[in-house]
Structure 1
Amino acid sequence: MCKTVDIDWSNLGFSYIKTDLRYVSKWKDGNWDEGTLVEDHHLSISESSTALHYGQQCFEGLKAYRTKSGKIQLFRPNQNAKRINDSCKRVLMPEIPEDKFIDACIQVVKANEHYVPPYGTGATLYLRPFVIGVGDNIGVKPAPEYIFCVFCLPVGPYFKGGMAPVNFTVSQYDRAAPYGTGAAKVGGNYAGSLLSHELAVKKGFADCIYLDPLTHTKIEEVGAANFFGITKDNKFITPKSPSILPSITKYSLLHVAKEYLEMEVAERDVLIDQLDEFKEAGACGTAAVITPIGGIEYKGKLHVFHSKTEVGPVTKKLYDTLYGIQFGDVKAPKGWIVEVK
């Protein structure tokens, strides 16, 4: 019989909640071990671990969704497996076989099934896989050992009381170097964004827009999310750059826009001084699916897209379609859904 937990699903936020079991696998002498589920949510590592001193680590984020029929499903976990391996390669950590990564995620969901929120609440079970360099080491070189872990926690719907546009300001800081680690999901990228985020919030904005680090003329990311715009002739446009994190949500929206909404789509440069080509804009990522952008402040002026208060119709259709696929209400493309059995 499935356990029950005393959680007010309708008032969940995005905060850490300790769940019952998490998956831990260790790499040593050239191989990953079998991996196991453990109760302890603390990791014991050497004080000289490369993850602590040299940032040799990376992570992922994905969700488990409960459908109307009660089934539990993962959304495109193979893409998370690919991306974590791309990140591992970038910082010289051992790759994780795709089947091992997906199996670890499934094990964690099954072991914590009672934490998967009910259908209709908008809440989900968030999974956080990560890899860290550990072991005794003090030189600037790859670690002698690694830990791969997956833990989970229930999180509430991103938008309390309905989706609404928010405003962003252009940051004076860079998110990543031109040939740096911007395309890898490594912690250093996020540590470097904390100050610019805080400054944006102090000015009354939701977060900041990062421009390309080489010329400061093109939009790259929106906080920790990817940018997209809907042109006045109804094309779905998103920036292309080697220093942007390849968002799984963004590539899913590109497919949805083209195949479900029959729109033209393109990845290309998005110039900050040509915002008026877009009638709608948004930020996309795992947490919210889409955050509608009301306006962007640049050089002291706020450029408003569709509205500062109302979500644009194309943005709403994109959101409803992808959200429906994730929760099993809209037929998914082949290979996008992995059922947890």
Structure 2
Amino acid sequence: MAPGLNYGQQAYEGMKAFRSPNNEITIFRPYRNAARIAHSASFVSMPPVPEELFIEAVHAAVSLNAAYVPPHETGAAMYIRPLIFGSSAQLGLNPPEEYTFCVYVMPTGVYHGVHPVKCLILEDFDRAAPDGTGSAKVGGNYAPVMRWSDKARNEGYGITLHLDSKTRTEIDEFSTSGFIGIKKEGDSITMVTPDSKNVIASVTSDSCQDIARSFGWKIEVRPIKYEELPTFKEVLAAGTAAALVPIRSITRKTRNETFSYIADDDEEAGPVCLKLLTTLKGIQAGKIKDTFGWNLKVEEVDLQKYAAGEQTNGVNGSSVDKLP
């Protein structure tokens, strides 16, 4: 009867840990994820996970499973999934007395190459209400879109894009990732990302903005009108799983419009995407110096501290789920 299962009271994160050339393991920007899960929890009436606890739990999960962080030369990583949910046994639709916070880790494969994908704008489904939970990373923002994403894939579209649900005139985000538009005027490059209260604060997009600033590029965070789509030279989807995905084209069926950014016979990403991706992945993997201070080094932890029977965070492991 847990609210997390019955009422969808949960929030989660997506992160990665990498092994460097010298065999050091680092977690990418965990403090950003700590802040984001606290934001998400507030939208579904859950207390925030204290930052210190979040970082300790993520660090411990990676450290205790260090053997499963893929070797550096594979280019793979360890995926990290922190999750918090209401876990009290109750019927009432009210904030529970108990919450469970846990962290899962698993090795994840490599995305070989950077292959452009076609995008479809979803017009028969709104991801979030104008004053809803769009900026929260909660399951309710993802489960309903599955059938629409699956339908789009069957039609040849690898990713779906949402407009704002109030006016359908502005770009919000992709179903799985953040939106980045690239403009070029001569040697000048401008990165544009949406300023919308209904998009999730993408850690990957934010990182790319910092990298772009270090290159001397311009950054604009502002509302993006639908009519602005054809003015971009490149469009990218930014997320934890694949980092950056180049968008080949964006289609809006009701207007019979398709805006193309990469030719159908071209399987390569644009130069801006490649430069951002090379730098981002280089920092994550320890090939490029982390001048931003993003990577948290993973140290060995005391296994006994987390063994059953020990008291962790005020809970004795030997008494959990046992009748008095």
Q: Structure 1 length normalisation: TM-score? A: 0.83
Task: Report deviation, 1:295.
Answer: 0.6
Name the structure 2 match of 1:13. Answer: none
The question of 1:90 aligning with 2:49 is answered no
Which segments of structure 1 move beyond 2 Å, counting only runs of 4 or more? 299-302, 306-310
AA partner of residue 41 (structure 2): C
In the other structure, the counterpart of 1:19 is none
**Alignment partner of 1:249 is 2:249:** no
Q: Do structure 1's residue 323 and structure 2's residue 281 form an aligned pair? A: yes
Q: Distance in 2 between matches of 1:336 and 1:139?
A: 42
Contact 1:137–1:144 (Cα < 8 Å) also in 2: no
Given that 1:176 and 1:189 are in contact with CA atoms closer than 8 Å, whether structure 2 keeps it comes out as yes
Q: Which residue of 1 aligns with 2:320?
A: none
- Corresponding residue SS for 1:69: coil
1:115 aligned onto 2:73: no
Equivalent residues of 2:116, 2:262 under 8 A apart: no
* Structure 1 counterpart of 2:216, one-letter code: E
User: Is contact 1:201–1:207 with CA below 8 Å preserved after alignment?
Assistant: yes
Match for 1:219 among 160, 171, 181? Answer: 171
Q: Which AA in structure 1 matches 2:228?
A: Q
Q: Number of aligned pairs? A: 291
What is the CA–CA distance in structure 2 between the aligned matches of 1:50 and 1:110, rounded to whole Å? 31
Structure 2 CA distance for aligned equivalents of residues 282 and 121 of structure 1: 25
What percentage of residue pairs aligned between the two structures are identical?
A: 40
Structure 1 residues 150 and 178, CA gap change in structure 2 (3 angstroms): same
d(CA) in 2 for partners of 1:117, 1:274:
41
Residue type at the aligned position of 1:245: I
User: TM-score, structure 2 length as denominator?
Assistant: 0.87
Higher helix share: 2
- Correspondent of 1:287 among 241, 249, 258: 241
Q: Does 1:269 align with 2:227?
A: no
In the alignment, structure 1 segments of 5+ residues that lack a partner are 1-47
Pairwise mapping of residues 173-252 of structure 1 onto structure 2 (< 5 A)?
173-233=125-185, 234-252=189-207
Question: 5+ unaligned residues in a row in structure 2: which ranges?
Answer: 300-324
C-alpha distance in 2 between matches for 1:277 and 1:303: 9
* Deviation at residue 243 of structure 1 after TM alignment: 0.4
Q: Of 293, 300, 303, which aligns to 2:256? A: 300
Hey, what's the Cα distance between the residues in 1 that align with 2:171 and 2:121?
Answer: 9
AA aligned opposite 2:245: T
CA RMSD after TM alignment: 1.1
CA contact (8 A) 1:108 1:150 kept: yes
Once the 2 structures are TM-superposed, how far is the Cα of residue 111 of structure 1 from its aligned partner? 1.0
